[in-house]
Structure 1
Amino acid sequence: MDVNAHIKSPPSRHKLTHSSLLPPPHRYSIVLFCIANFLFWASLYLYVPIFPVYIQSLGASLSIVGVVVSAYAIPQVLLRIPIGIWSDNLGRRKPLVVAGIIVTSLGALGLGLAANPWQLFLARLTTGIGAATWVVFTIYFTAYYRPESSGRAIGLINFVQGGALVVATAGGGALAQTLGSRQTFLAAAVLAVAGLAALAFTREQPAEPRDVFTWRGFSSVATRPLLLTVSVMGILFQFTVHAGVFGFIPVYAAKIGGSSADLGFITMLTLGSSMIGNLTAVWVWDRLGHRAAILGGALLIGASTLTIPFIQKIPALMAVQVGYGLGRGILTTSLMALSIRDVSPGHRATAMGVYQAIYAVGMLSGPLVSGFLGDRLGLASIFFLAAALSLLIAALAFSPVFAKR
């Protein structure tokens, strides 16, 4: 099976050479899909600021809180590759995107109705299944663009995702304080349904013809040196992110005197900077190449993380998080774009599934390993480890697979 088929002959639907973020032939569907994507991610993150505390309120110990929180990553490790393969074999993306949104809504509803931590575990596992379909979202969206503009498309869809995270994490806490935690989960379920309504009016682009699935064909996609390299980078990157902004940076902020409002603002600032980084990545690699983008993103995260243990004032920590967020956004978009680079459109969901499944190992291991390390060596050790891993990502940017990129 030739996984590079159709690379040199773009499909007929891409006859226009327009390179804007909103190509005229598909502008209406692109805008609606961005709305659906925004609501999908808002549904997944609306309750994140209150979730650990809510788990504790149902009688869970800290160790059980960790187990329930980690449930979100389990399906993403196990299901993203099968979902990607299934999507490529099916030849359609929309049914799986619809299924993902429905499952996400049901999971949020389950969280709102759960009466004990183990019911929360099952409901959070369900939302993780919905999040695993993100692999199909990205391929559905890039089909609106010329193959050589797929990186631009990924930059835009990640920018929208980042906006959803900023709005959801900011609004979720306020909503919970006003209406209560259970109502926040139910609101998340409603947001997912609204996303489904927006998706209904998008027009799916026909999938590229491809061969019937074989293990040899899968292996030829999954063992591509570029894909394997960015996947390893993805593990290291997600480890640092889930040990940092989604893990122990808020804990450190509270330790140096940050209020609940400060913690929320730090998260918002980081995610908002990531949005800018998503689009900055496109600008950087258009002018300097992907290697420069990876180096810049990794060094920003590494330098920011390394300074955290020496910061004793909240304003200084906030300033550092701007650089952290920019680096996060640049790396998110750069690695995702490279994971499907030079792969034929008919096999991109498989490649994206491999990448996202492998990097989910970092999502799962980051909080677990860092928590263990922090208990024994202190919070500072977590940030020193994250900085070291960021420098390792920068070193991997000099791999031969990036020589001409």
Structure 2
Amino acid sequence: MAAHVKKKQALLPAIVILFWFAQYVYIPYQTPYLLSVQVSEVFLGSILGAYGITQMLLRIPVGVMADSVGKHKYFILSGTLAASIASLIRFLIPNGYGFLAANLLSGMASSMWISFMVMYTGFFPEEDQQKATGRIILCNNLGILSGFLLSSLLYKYFGMSILCLLSISAGAVGTILTFLLKEEKGKGTFSLSSFASLKICLHKRLILFSLLALIQQGVQMSTAMSFTAQILKMRGGSSFIIGLSSIIYMISAVATSAVSSSKRAVRLGARVLVPIVFLALAAYCILVPITPFIPLLLALQLLPGMATGILFSNLTSEAMKGIPLKVKSTAMGFYQAVYALGMTLFPMFTGKFIAEFSYLTAYFLLALSALIGTAASFCYYYFQKNMSK
């Protein structure tokens, strides 16, 4: 392997860690903080969903442009910069409206994740794509975990402002490191004819696994990333306990991300792993609102972590199977836009059901969606296996 490729393989993961640290360091305390400044559950659901809105709108155009231009460095650069500016807004306007605007910008930043993934997986041959996907998602989760660790240590003493400052700093360092990335000369310039690559979005396998990712990301954004923190607070959990729950969740995500890129997991295959982990995610949604004990709630955080580490990486690699390299960014853009729809709508409806009914009702509906994912993935692999005989 060429020396410059090895250097990029080391530098890009470092940028990924900083990027996701910037995007998620404030997340464990976002819901309790906003509720403490008198933001309603309905408005909170809209704030949480705003993160997915810009992703839903931008990811397909970003994917098309990345395929057309053939250069990912500047998309990555705009992502790290936007992550930093978003938290600057949170710091300067620390209320619901500031967080709404910032989450829209954070969603724009996350839209650039396409280029992070396509650039990194492009370093590896086709047979190593699941391993490469697992590795880059591992770095994603390491960034989030490190953010959660620091936030749990600092929030009690310094509040939301210190978390925003850490996010600003990490995004700024990531931006500086991105300038050091070297990339081969691009294909050319973007034109309207580039949208011809959108026909890849009709690929049936891509559509199916995009919809499954919509369920997985929507459920997790509505639970482990947001409203589960409030359930812990209602059970008497301190700010440290809330932070600890996020840490447990991300330790599980990091550990299972490493497992998903192992030879054993590759050999076991998505056919087994995807339905099983969807079922575990459904169990999580059923158990969380009916569990009165904080230690058990903390232990349950292992389940959504497993969904992040194993399920998401497998859904991503399965969605990208058979996609030609020349339209891979467009396909990834479609995939990420579809699951961004879940990240947008699920928290909004969850907040609405909590306000009008209860946490129990909202979480049971989320469990039902995870069971739909279980059934759909099982049926797909069952029929695929029988048709191959």
Equivalence map 1:105-254=2 (5 Å): 105-114=84-93, 117-204=96-183, 213-219=193-199, 221-254=200-233
Alignment of 1:308 onto 2:288: yes
Aligned-residue Cα RMSD (Å) equals 2.7
Listed one character per residue, the Cα deviations across residues 332-355 of structure 1 (whole Å, up to 9, x for unaligned) are 101111222111112111001001
Listed one character per residue, the Cα deviations across residues 283-323 of structure 1 (whole Å, up to 9, x for unaligned) are 45521222112122212212333333442211122222223
Alignment gaps of 5+ in structure 1: 1-15, 17-22
The SS at the match of 1:78 is helix
State the match for 2:303 in structure 1.
323
User: Higher helix fraction: Structure 1 or Structure 2?
Assistant: 2
The SS at the match of 1:396 is helix
Contact 1:208 1:346 survives alignment (8 Å): no
Distance apart, 1:115 and its partner CA: 6.4
Contact 1:76 1:128 survives alignment (8 Å): yes
Distance 1:121-1:376 versus aligned 2 partners, 3 A rule: closer
Alignment of 1:43 onto 2:22: yes
Distance 1:196-1:64 versus aligned 2 partners, 3 A rule: same
Alignment of 1:296 onto 2:300: no
Letter in structure 1 aligned against 2:132: A
TM-score (norm 2): 0.89
State the distance in 2 between where 1:279 and 1:134 align. Answer: 20
Deviates more, 1:194-203 or 1:313-322: 194-203
Contact 1:210 1:346 survives alignment (8 Å): no
Letter in structure 2 aligned against 1:358: V
State the distance in 1 between where 2:356 and 2:105 align. Answer: 33
State the match for 1:399 in structure 2.
380
State the distance in 2 between where 1:59 and 1:305 align. Answer: 26
Distance 1:187-1:288 versus aligned 2 partners, 3 A rule: closer
Distance 1:226-1:95 versus aligned 2 partners, 3 A rule: same
Listed one character per residue, the Cα deviations across residues 239-264 of structure 1 (whole Å, up to 9, x for unaligned) are 21122112322222233332222121
State the distance in 1 between where 2:166 and 2:289 align. Answer: 37
Contact 2:152 2:244 survives alignment (8 Å): no
Indicate which of 268, 271, 280 corresponds to 2:247.
268
Indicate which of 75, 91, 104 corresponds to 1:96.
75
Alignment of 1:71 onto 2:44: no
Indicate which of 337, 340, 364 corresponds to 1:384.
364
What percentage of residue pairs aligned between the two structures are identical? 23
Distance apart, 1:270 and its partner CA: 1.1
Distance 1:258-1:367 versus aligned 2 partners, 3 A rule: same
Indicate which of 333, 346, 358 corresponds to 1:353.
333
Contact 2:41 2:351 survives alignment (8 Å): no
Distance 1:391-1:55 versus aligned 2 partners, 3 A rule: closer
State the distance in 2 between where 1:374 and 1:62 align. Answer: 7
Contact 1:46 1:188 survives alignment (8 Å): yes
Alignment gaps of 5+ in structure 2: none
Distance 1:296-1:27 versus aligned 2 partners, 3 A rule: farther
Indicate which of 30, 53, 61 corresponds to 1:82.
61
Contact 1:32 1:202 survives alignment (8 Å): yes
Distance 1:394-1:192 versus aligned 2 partners, 3 A rule: same
State the distance in 1 between where 2:297 and 2:35 align. Answer: 28
Distance apart, 1:211 and its partner CA: 12
Indicate which of 345, 351, 359 corresponds to 1:365.
345
Distance 1:210-1:98 versus aligned 2 partners, 3 A rule: closer
Letter in structure 1 aligned against 2:55: Q
Equivalence map 1:273-284=2 (5 Å): 273-283=252-262
Deviates more, 1:286-295 or 1:298-307: 298-307
State the distance in 1 between where 2:259 and 2:294 align. Answer: 26
Q: Indicate the structure whose relative CO is greater, using CA pairs within 8 Å and at least 6 residues apart.
A: 2
TM-score (norm 1): 0.86
Distance 1:215-1:28 versus aligned 2 partners, 3 A rule: closer
Deviates more, 1:56-65 or 1:169-178: 56-65
The SS at the match of 1:72 is helix
Listed one character per residue, the Cα deviations across residues 380-403 of structure 1 (whole Å, up to 9, x for unaligned) are 222322222222112112216854
State the distance in 1 between where 2:326 and 2:310 align. Answer: 26
Letter in structure 2 aligned against 1:112: F
State the match for 1:5 in structure 2.
none
Letter in structure 2 aligned against 1:399: Y
Letter in structure 2 aligned against 1:231: S
Letter in structure 2 aligned against 1:127: S
State the distance in 2 between where 1:333 and 1:125 align. Answer: 25
Q: How many residues align?
A: 382
State the distance in 1 between where 2:309 and 2:64 align. Answer: 27
Distance apart, 1:216 and its partner CA: 4.6
